[in-house]
Protein backbone atom coordinates (compact mmCIF):
# COMPACT_ATOMS: atom_id res chain seq x y z
CA UNK A 1 0.00 0.00 0.00
CA UNK A 2 1.36 3.38 -0.87
CA UNK A 3 0.30 6.96 -1.38
CA UNK A 4 3.53 7.90 -3.05
CA UNK A 5 4.08 8.21 -6.77
CA UNK A 6 6.94 9.31 -8.92
CA UNK A 7 6.72 11.74 -11.81
CA UNK A 8 9.70 12.77 -13.88
CA UNK A 9 12.03 11.35 -11.28
CA UNK A 10 10.48 13.38 -8.47
CA UNK A 11 8.53 11.82 -5.64
CA UNK A 12 5.05 13.19 -5.18
CA UNK A 13 3.08 12.50 -2.06
CA UNK A 14 0.82 14.09 0.45
CA UNK A 15 2.25 16.11 3.30
CA UNK A 16 4.06 15.59 5.57
CA UNK A 17 7.20 14.84 3.62
CA UNK A 18 9.29 13.81 6.58
CA UNK A 19 8.70 11.11 9.11
CA UNK A 20 10.00 9.78 12.38
CA UNK A 21 12.92 7.41 12.18
CA UNK A 22 11.02 4.76 14.12
CA UNK A 23 9.54 2.09 11.89
CA UNK A 24 7.54 -0.89 13.10
CA UNK A 25 10.56 -3.04 12.43
CA UNK A 26 12.89 -0.84 14.43
CA UNK A 27 10.48 -0.68 17.35
CA UNK A 28 10.06 -4.46 17.45
CA UNK A 29 13.76 -5.20 17.29
CA UNK A 30 14.45 -2.68 20.02
CA UNK A 31 11.91 -4.49 22.19
CA UNK A 32 13.75 -7.73 21.45
CA UNK A 33 17.02 -6.08 22.44
CA UNK A 34 15.51 -4.80 25.67
CA UNK A 35 14.50 -8.33 26.64
CA UNK A 36 17.92 -9.79 26.02
CA UNK A 37 19.51 -8.95 29.40
CA UNK A 38 16.73 -10.67 31.37
CA UNK A 39 16.65 -13.65 28.99
CA UNK A 40 20.41 -14.00 29.10
CA UNK A 41 20.33 -13.90 32.87
CA UNK A 42 17.69 -16.65 32.82
CA UNK A 43 19.90 -18.79 30.63
CA UNK A 44 22.84 -18.06 32.86
CA UNK A 45 21.08 -19.09 36.05
CA UNK A 46 18.99 -21.96 34.74
CA UNK A 47 21.45 -23.44 32.29
CA UNK A 48 21.49 -24.66 28.74
CA UNK A 49 17.99 -26.08 28.74
CA UNK A 50 16.65 -22.56 29.22
CA UNK A 51 18.50 -21.53 26.06
CA UNK A 52 17.03 -24.52 24.22
CA UNK A 53 13.54 -23.47 25.28
CA UNK A 54 13.99 -19.85 24.23
CA UNK A 55 15.52 -20.84 20.90
CA UNK A 56 12.79 -23.41 20.26
CA UNK A 57 10.02 -20.93 20.96
CA UNK A 58 11.52 -18.16 18.85
CA UNK A 59 12.20 -20.46 15.89
CA UNK A 60 8.75 -22.02 16.02
CA UNK A 61 7.01 -18.64 16.37
CA UNK A 62 8.83 -17.30 13.32
CA UNK A 63 8.23 -20.54 11.41
CA UNK A 64 4.53 -20.51 12.32
CA UNK A 65 4.11 -16.97 11.06
CA UNK A 66 6.03 -17.55 7.83
CA UNK A 67 4.19 -20.80 7.18
CA UNK A 68 0.78 -19.34 7.80
CA UNK A 69 1.45 -16.34 5.61
CA UNK A 70 2.93 -18.51 2.87
CA UNK A 71 -0.06 -20.86 2.92
CA UNK A 72 -2.49 -17.97 2.73
CA UNK A 73 -0.34 -16.29 0.09
CA UNK A 74 0.05 -13.19 2.22
CA UNK A 75 3.10 -11.01 2.39
CA UNK A 76 5.61 -12.70 4.69
CA UNK A 77 6.34 -10.20 7.41
CA UNK A 78 8.50 -12.08 9.90
CA UNK A 79 11.27 -9.56 9.34
CA UNK A 80 9.24 -7.04 11.33
CA UNK A 81 10.37 -8.84 14.47
CA UNK A 82 6.97 -9.13 16.11
CA UNK A 83 6.98 -12.94 15.90
CA UNK A 84 10.45 -12.96 17.44
CA UNK A 85 9.11 -10.99 20.40
CA UNK A 86 6.23 -13.42 20.80
CA UNK A 87 8.57 -16.42 20.65
CA UNK A 88 11.04 -14.84 23.04
CA UNK A 89 8.30 -13.98 25.52
CA UNK A 90 6.87 -17.50 25.35
CA UNK A 91 10.30 -18.92 26.08
CA UNK A 92 10.71 -16.53 28.96
CA UNK A 93 7.32 -17.48 30.37
CA UNK A 94 7.83 -21.19 31.05
CA UNK A 95 9.57 -22.93 33.96
CA UNK A 96 13.23 -23.74 33.25
CA UNK A 97 12.66 -27.47 33.08
CA UNK A 98 9.63 -27.48 30.77
CA UNK A 99 9.80 -29.78 27.73
CA UNK A 100 10.79 -28.13 24.45
CA UNK A 101 7.89 -29.64 22.50
CA UNK A 102 5.52 -27.77 24.74
CA UNK A 103 6.87 -24.35 23.82
CA UNK A 104 6.85 -25.33 20.15
CA UNK A 105 3.15 -26.13 20.32
CA UNK A 106 2.59 -23.05 22.45
CA UNK A 107 4.32 -20.82 19.90
CA UNK A 108 2.29 -22.21 17.02
CA UNK A 109 -0.87 -21.64 19.03
CA UNK A 110 0.14 -18.09 19.95
CA UNK A 111 1.08 -17.05 16.44
CA UNK A 112 -1.62 -18.80 14.47
CA UNK A 113 -4.67 -18.88 16.72
CA UNK A 114 -4.13 -15.77 18.83
CA UNK A 115 -2.48 -13.54 16.24
CA UNK A 116 -2.89 -14.53 12.60
CA UNK A 117 -6.46 -15.79 12.64
CA UNK A 118 -7.51 -12.38 13.91
CA UNK A 119 -5.76 -10.74 10.98
CA UNK A 120 -2.13 -10.58 12.07
CA UNK A 121 -0.11 -7.79 13.64
CA UNK A 122 -2.39 -4.95 14.62
CA UNK A 123 -5.65 -6.86 14.60
CA UNK A 124 -5.18 -9.41 17.36
CA UNK A 125 -7.11 -8.78 20.55
CA UNK A 126 -4.95 -10.77 22.93
CA UNK A 127 -1.24 -10.66 23.44
CA UNK A 128 -0.07 -13.74 21.49
CA UNK A 129 2.58 -14.72 24.04
CA UNK A 130 0.12 -14.53 26.90
CA UNK A 131 -2.51 -16.38 24.92
CA UNK A 132 0.05 -19.11 24.38
CA UNK A 133 0.92 -19.12 28.05
CA UNK A 134 -2.71 -19.48 29.08
CA UNK A 135 -3.10 -22.28 26.55
CA UNK A 136 -0.07 -24.15 27.88
CA UNK A 137 -1.27 -23.58 31.43
CA UNK A 138 -4.61 -25.15 30.61
CA UNK A 139 -3.12 -28.02 28.60
CA UNK A 140 -0.07 -28.96 30.62
CA UNK A 141 -0.58 -27.49 34.09
CA UNK A 142 2.03 -29.73 35.67
CA UNK A 143 4.80 -28.65 33.31
CA UNK A 144 3.76 -25.07 33.74
CA UNK A 145 3.61 -24.97 37.53
CA UNK A 146 6.36 -27.26 38.72
CA UNK A 147 10.00 -27.84 38.08
CA UNK A 148 11.18 -24.63 39.69
CA UNK A 149 14.78 -24.28 40.56
CA UNK A 150 14.99 -23.97 44.36
CA UNK A 151 16.23 -20.62 45.48
CA UNK A 152 18.09 -21.68 48.56
CA UNK A 153 21.21 -22.06 46.48
CA UNK A 154 23.31 -19.20 45.26
CA UNK A 155 24.32 -17.80 41.90
CA UNK A 156 27.15 -15.58 40.87
CA UNK A 157 25.26 -12.41 41.66
CA UNK A 158 23.45 -13.38 44.83
CA UNK A 159 23.89 -15.68 47.72
CA UNK A 160 21.12 -18.02 48.78
CA UNK A 161 18.14 -16.70 50.67
CA UNK A 162 18.82 -16.73 54.37
CA UNK A 163 16.45 -18.40 56.73
CA UNK A 164 15.89 -15.07 58.39
CA UNK A 165 12.82 -16.06 60.32
CA UNK A 166 14.40 -19.17 61.80
CA UNK A 167 12.05 -21.64 60.15
CA UNK A 168 12.69 -25.31 60.85
CA UNK A 169 15.02 -26.67 58.15
CA UNK A 170 12.33 -28.97 56.83
CA UNK A 171 9.89 -26.11 56.39
CA UNK A 172 12.56 -23.87 54.86
CA UNK A 173 13.41 -26.54 52.31
CA UNK A 174 9.78 -27.13 51.42
CA UNK A 175 9.03 -23.47 50.96
CA UNK A 176 12.04 -22.64 48.85
CA UNK A 177 11.14 -25.37 46.38
CA UNK A 178 8.40 -23.16 44.99
CA UNK A 179 8.37 -19.65 43.64
CA UNK A 180 8.16 -16.87 46.21
CA UNK A 181 4.54 -16.24 45.32
CA UNK A 182 3.87 -19.97 45.46
CA UNK A 183 5.37 -19.95 48.93
CA UNK A 184 3.09 -17.09 49.92
CA UNK A 185 0.07 -19.02 48.74
CA UNK A 186 0.98 -22.58 49.76
CA UNK A 187 3.26 -21.77 52.70
CA UNK A 188 0.53 -21.37 55.33
CA UNK A 189 -0.69 -24.92 54.65
CA UNK A 190 2.78 -26.44 54.88
CA UNK A 191 3.55 -24.54 58.03
CA UNK A 192 0.22 -25.31 59.66
CA UNK A 193 1.09 -28.99 59.57
CA UNK A 194 4.18 -28.12 61.58
CA UNK A 195 2.21 -25.87 63.89
CA UNK A 196 4.00 -22.74 62.75
CA UNK A 197 2.01 -19.51 62.46
CA UNK A 198 1.71 -17.41 59.32
CA UNK A 199 3.59 -14.59 61.01
CA UNK A 200 6.83 -16.49 60.72
CA UNK A 201 6.21 -17.13 57.01
CA UNK A 202 5.72 -13.40 56.53
CA UNK A 203 8.87 -12.68 58.49
CA UNK A 204 10.74 -14.94 56.13
CA UNK A 205 9.23 -13.80 52.83
CA UNK A 206 9.28 -10.11 53.68
CA UNK A 207 12.86 -10.15 54.94
CA UNK A 208 15.56 -8.01 53.42
CA UNK A 209 17.48 -11.10 52.37
CA UNK A 210 14.44 -12.24 50.38
CA UNK A 211 13.95 -8.85 48.77
CA UNK A 212 17.58 -8.83 47.71
CA UNK A 213 17.23 -12.25 46.12
CA UNK A 214 14.10 -11.11 44.31
CA UNK A 215 15.73 -7.95 43.05
CA UNK A 216 18.82 -9.58 41.66
CA UNK A 217 17.17 -12.80 40.65
CA UNK A 218 18.00 -15.74 42.81
CA UNK A 219 14.57 -17.26 43.14
CA UNK A 220 12.38 -19.83 41.50
CA UNK A 221 10.31 -18.71 38.60
CA UNK A 222 9.82 -18.86 34.86
CA UNK A 223 12.97 -18.30 32.83
CA UNK A 224 12.56 -14.61 32.15
CA UNK A 225 10.87 -13.26 35.24
CA UNK A 226 13.38 -13.87 37.99
CA UNK A 227 15.61 -10.83 37.86
CA UNK A 228 13.76 -7.59 38.53
CA UNK A 229 17.06 -5.81 38.01
CA UNK A 230 17.61 -6.93 34.43
CA UNK A 231 13.96 -6.45 33.55
CA UNK A 232 14.12 -2.92 34.88
CA UNK A 233 17.20 -2.20 32.81
CA UNK A 234 15.32 -3.31 29.70
CA UNK A 235 12.19 -1.43 30.72
CA UNK A 236 14.03 1.80 31.39
CA UNK A 237 15.74 1.44 28.02
CA UNK A 238 12.34 1.20 26.34
CA UNK A 239 11.10 4.24 28.24
CA UNK A 240 14.22 6.23 27.45
CA UNK A 241 14.04 5.28 23.79
CA UNK A 242 10.33 6.29 23.87
CA UNK A 243 9.23 2.93 22.57
CA UNK A 244 6.80 2.68 25.45
CA UNK A 245 5.39 5.43 27.64
CA UNK A 246 5.25 5.44 31.42
CA UNK A 247 1.48 5.13 31.60
CA UNK A 248 1.01 1.37 31.66
CA UNK A 249 4.05 0.23 33.68
CA UNK A 250 3.69 2.95 36.30
CA UNK A 251 -0.05 2.52 36.78
CA UNK A 252 0.24 -1.27 36.77
CA UNK A 253 3.12 -1.49 39.23
CA UNK A 254 1.79 1.42 41.27
CA UNK A 255 -1.60 -0.20 41.70
CA UNK A 256 -0.09 -3.46 42.90
CA UNK A 257 2.05 -1.46 45.35
CA UNK A 258 -0.85 0.58 46.71
CA UNK A 259 -3.09 -2.47 47.10
CA UNK A 260 -0.33 -4.45 48.79
CA UNK A 261 0.27 -1.60 51.20
CA UNK A 262 -3.41 -1.30 52.02
CA UNK A 263 -3.90 -5.04 52.39
CA UNK A 264 -0.91 -5.69 54.63
CA UNK A 265 -1.54 -2.56 56.69
CA UNK A 266 -5.07 -3.76 57.31
CA UNK A 267 -3.70 -7.19 58.14
CA UNK A 268 -1.67 -5.55 60.88
CA UNK A 269 1.79 -6.16 59.48
CA UNK A 270 4.29 -4.05 61.35
CA UNK A 271 6.24 -3.15 58.24
CA UNK A 272 3.97 -3.32 55.21
CA UNK A 273 6.67 -1.72 53.04
CA UNK A 274 8.60 -4.99 52.89
CA UNK A 275 5.44 -6.75 51.77
CA UNK A 276 4.98 -4.09 49.10
CA UNK A 277 8.51 -4.66 47.84
CA UNK A 278 7.95 -8.39 47.87
CA UNK A 279 4.88 -8.05 45.67
CA UNK A 280 6.51 -5.61 43.28
CA UNK A 281 9.63 -7.67 42.74
CA UNK A 282 8.15 -11.13 42.66
CA UNK A 283 6.38 -13.07 40.01
CA UNK A 284 6.17 -11.69 36.53
CA UNK A 285 5.19 -8.17 37.52
CA UNK A 286 8.20 -6.42 35.99
CA UNK A 287 8.13 -8.66 32.93
CA UNK A 288 4.39 -8.17 32.54
CA UNK A 289 4.24 -4.45 33.27
CA UNK A 290 7.10 -3.40 31.02
CA UNK A 291 7.01 -5.91 28.21
CA UNK A 292 3.62 -7.61 27.94
CA UNK A 293 1.00 -5.15 29.14
CA UNK A 294 2.71 -2.53 26.95
CA UNK A 295 2.14 -4.58 23.80
CA UNK A 296 0.86 -1.82 21.54
CA UNK A 297 -1.61 -3.86 19.60
CA UNK A 298 -3.50 -5.13 22.61
CA UNK A 299 -3.48 -2.07 24.87
CA UNK A 300 -5.39 1.23 24.57
CA UNK A 301 -4.15 4.00 22.30
CA UNK A 302 -4.75 7.06 24.48
CA UNK A 303 -2.86 8.06 27.60
CA UNK A 304 -5.99 7.97 29.76
CA UNK A 305 -6.89 4.56 28.37
CA UNK A 306 -3.42 3.25 29.14
CA UNK A 307 -3.66 4.39 32.75
CA UNK A 308 -7.03 2.69 33.19
CA UNK A 309 -5.60 -0.40 31.55
CA UNK A 310 -2.61 -0.40 33.91
CA UNK A 311 -4.72 0.14 37.00
CA UNK A 312 -7.01 -2.70 35.92
CA UNK A 313 -4.03 -5.01 35.38
CA UNK A 314 -2.63 -4.13 38.79
CA UNK A 315 -5.92 -4.64 40.61
CA UNK A 316 -6.67 -7.98 38.96
CA UNK A 317 -3.11 -9.16 39.56
CA UNK A 318 -3.33 -8.42 43.25
CA UNK A 319 -6.78 -9.94 43.63
CA UNK A 320 -5.62 -13.18 42.00
CA UNK A 321 -2.46 -13.27 44.09
CA UNK A 322 -4.34 -12.91 47.37
CA UNK A 323 -7.71 -14.49 46.75
CA UNK A 324 -7.45 -16.31 43.45
CA UNK A 325 -6.77 -19.93 42.68
CA UNK A 326 -3.31 -19.25 41.26
CA UNK A 327 -0.28 -17.91 43.08
CA UNK A 328 0.39 -15.44 40.26
CA UNK A 329 -2.03 -13.21 38.38
CA UNK A 330 0.01 -11.03 36.02
CA UNK A 331 -0.71 -12.89 32.80
CA UNK A 332 -4.41 -13.40 33.44
CA UNK A 333 -4.83 -9.79 34.46
CA UNK A 334 -3.27 -8.62 31.20
CA UNK A 335 -5.37 -11.01 29.14
CA UNK A 336 -8.53 -9.79 30.85
CA UNK A 337 -7.59 -6.19 30.24
CA UNK A 338 -6.73 -7.02 26.60
CA UNK A 339 -10.34 -8.09 26.26
CA UNK A 340 -11.47 -4.82 27.81
CA UNK A 341 -9.28 -2.68 25.55
CA UNK A 342 -11.82 -1.94 22.79
CA UNK A 343 -14.23 -0.80 25.48
CA UNK A 344 -11.61 1.32 27.21
CA UNK A 345 -10.68 2.91 23.90
CA UNK A 346 -14.32 3.74 23.32
CA UNK A 347 -14.76 5.48 26.61
CA UNK A 348 -11.44 7.28 26.81
CA UNK A 349 -11.61 9.26 23.60
CA UNK A 350 -9.68 12.42 24.45
CA UNK A 351 -11.72 15.61 24.62
CA UNK A 352 -11.27 17.34 21.29
CA UNK A 353 -9.53 20.72 21.42
CA UNK A 354 -12.03 23.55 21.47
CA UNK A 355 -15.00 21.33 22.32
CA UNK A 356 -16.65 22.06 25.65
Partner 1 sequence: MFSGFKGGIHPPENKHVAEDKAFTNLPVPQMCYIPLSQHLGAPAKPVVEVGQTVTEGQLIAEAGGFVSANVHSPVPGKVVEIKEINTVNNRQMAVVIEAEGAFSSSAQPRQTDDWEKLAPEEILRRIREAGIVGLGGAAFPAAVKLSPPKDKKIDILIVNGSECEPYLTVDDMLMQTFPKEIIDGTRMLMKVLGVTRAIIGIENNKKKAVQALKKTLASMSIKEDIAVKALRTKYPQGAEKQLIYSLTGKQVPSGGLPMEVGVVVQNVGTIFAAREAVVFSKPLFERYITVSGKMINKPGNYKVRLGTRISDIVEECGGLKGEPAKIVIGGPMCGLSIHSLDIPVVKGTSGILFLSKDEVKTGDFSQCIRCGRCVAACPINLVPCDLGNAVEKNRYDLVEELRPLDCIMCGSCSYSCPSNRPLSHFIKLAQAWVRKQKK
Binding residues (CB under 8 A) for partner 1: these are 1-4, 7-20, 22-24, 26-27, 77, 120-123, 245, 296-303, 306, 349-356
* Minimum gap (Å) between residue 286 Cβ and partner 1: 22
Nearer to partner 1 (CB atom), residue 275 or residue 306: 306
Q: Is 5 helix (H, G, I), strand (E, B) or coil?
A: strand
Query: In the complex, what is the shortest distance from the CB of residue 123 to partner 1, in angstroms, rounded to a whole number?
Result: 7
Do the beta carbons of residue 229 and residue 215 sit within 8 Å?
yes
Output helix, strand, coil percentages for the chain, rounded to the nearest 5. 65, 0, 35
Q: Which is nearer to partner 1, 223 or 306 (CB)?
A: 306
Is the Cβ of residue 77 or residue 145 nearer to partner 1 in the bound state?
77
Distance CA 336, CA 312 (A): 9
The DSSP 8-state label assigned to residue 353 in this structure reads T
CB of 76 vs partner 1, minimal distance in Å:
13
Nearer CB in complex with partner 1: 4/142: 4
Q: Which is nearer to partner 1, 7 or 169 (CB)?
A: 7
Q: Smallest distance, Å, CB 27 to partner 1?
A: 6
Q: Under the phi-then-psi rule, with left for phi > 0, alpha for psi from -120 to 50, and beta for the rest, what region is 278?
A: alpha
Q: How far is the CB of 74 from partner 1 (least distance, A)?
A: 11
From the CB of 37, what's the least distance to partner 1, in Å?
Answer: 23
Integer Cα distance of 19 and 185 in angstroms? 51
Q: Which residue number, 21 or 325, has a Cβ lying nearer to partner 1?
A: 21
Contact 279, 314 (CB under 8 A): no
Cα 348 to Cα 198: distance, rounded to the nearest angstrom: 43
Beta-carbon contacts of residue 265 (< 8 Å; ≥ 6 apart): 272
Do 307 and 350 form a contact (C-beta atoms < 8 A)? no
3-state SS, 139-199, equals HCHHHHHCCCCCCCCCCCCCCCCCCCCCCCHHHHHHHCCCCHHHHHHHHHHHHHHCCCCHH
Given a contact cutoff of 8 angstroms between Cβ atoms, the answer to whether 188 and 204 are in contact is no
In the complex, the smallest distance separating the C-beta of residue 23 from partner 1, rounded to whole angstroms, is: 5
| Closest-CA residue to 107 (of 67, 69, 61) | 61
Closest distance between partner 1 and the C-beta of residue 115, in Å?
A: 12
Closer to partner 1 by CB, 6 or 193: give it.
Answer: 6
- Shortest distance in whole angstroms from residue 126 CB to partner 1: 13
**SS3 category, 11:** strand
In terms of CB distance, is 52 or 304 closer to partner 1? 304
C-beta of 29 vs 140, nearer to partner 1: 29
How far apart (Å, rounded) are the C-alpha atoms in residues 104 and 113?
Answer: 14
| 180 touches 214 (CB < 8 A) | yes
Q: Output the furthest CA–CA distance in the chain (Å, rounded).
A: 87
Amino acid sequence: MTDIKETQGLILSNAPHIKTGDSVQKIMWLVVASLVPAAAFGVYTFGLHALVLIAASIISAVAAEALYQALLKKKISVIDGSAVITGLLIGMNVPPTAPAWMVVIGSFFGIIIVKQVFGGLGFNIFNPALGARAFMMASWPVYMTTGWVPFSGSNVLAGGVQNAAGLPQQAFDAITQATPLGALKEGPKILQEMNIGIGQLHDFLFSSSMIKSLFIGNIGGVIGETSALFLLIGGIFLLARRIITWHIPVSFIGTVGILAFAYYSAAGLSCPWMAVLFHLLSGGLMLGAFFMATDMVTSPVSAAGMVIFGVGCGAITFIIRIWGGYPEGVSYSILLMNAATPLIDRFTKPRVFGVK
